């Protein structure tokens, strides 16, 4: 006889929790990736602005 809670097998509950955790981790991973890309693009833009400023000062 298997352990059950309210007609659900414990194995089923554990599998459902694991899939829920997997979905949550996937969402967190995607959000983190988007945030990292945005920060990277912002840093690249700042570097480009600094390079342009230095080139314009050099040309004077």
Beta bridge partners of 5: 8
Running DSSP on this structure, what letter comes out for residue 19? H
For residue 27, what pLDDT is reported? 98
How many angstroms separate the CA atoms of 17 and 5, rounded?
15
Contacts of the segment 43-51: beta carbons below 8 A, 24+ positions apart: none
Average pLDDT over residues 27-55: 96
Q: Supply the pTM of this predicted model.
A: 0.66
**pLDDT, greater one: 3 or 25:** 25
First to last CA, the chain: 86
């Amino acid at each position: 006889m298997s352990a059950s809670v309210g007609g659900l097998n414990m194995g089923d509950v554990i599998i459902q929790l694991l899939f829920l955790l997997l979905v949550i981790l996937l969402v967190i991973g995607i959000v983190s990736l988007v945030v990292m890309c945005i920060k990277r693009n912002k840093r690249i833009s700042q570097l480009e602005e600094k390079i342009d400023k230095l080139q314009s000062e050099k040309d004077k």
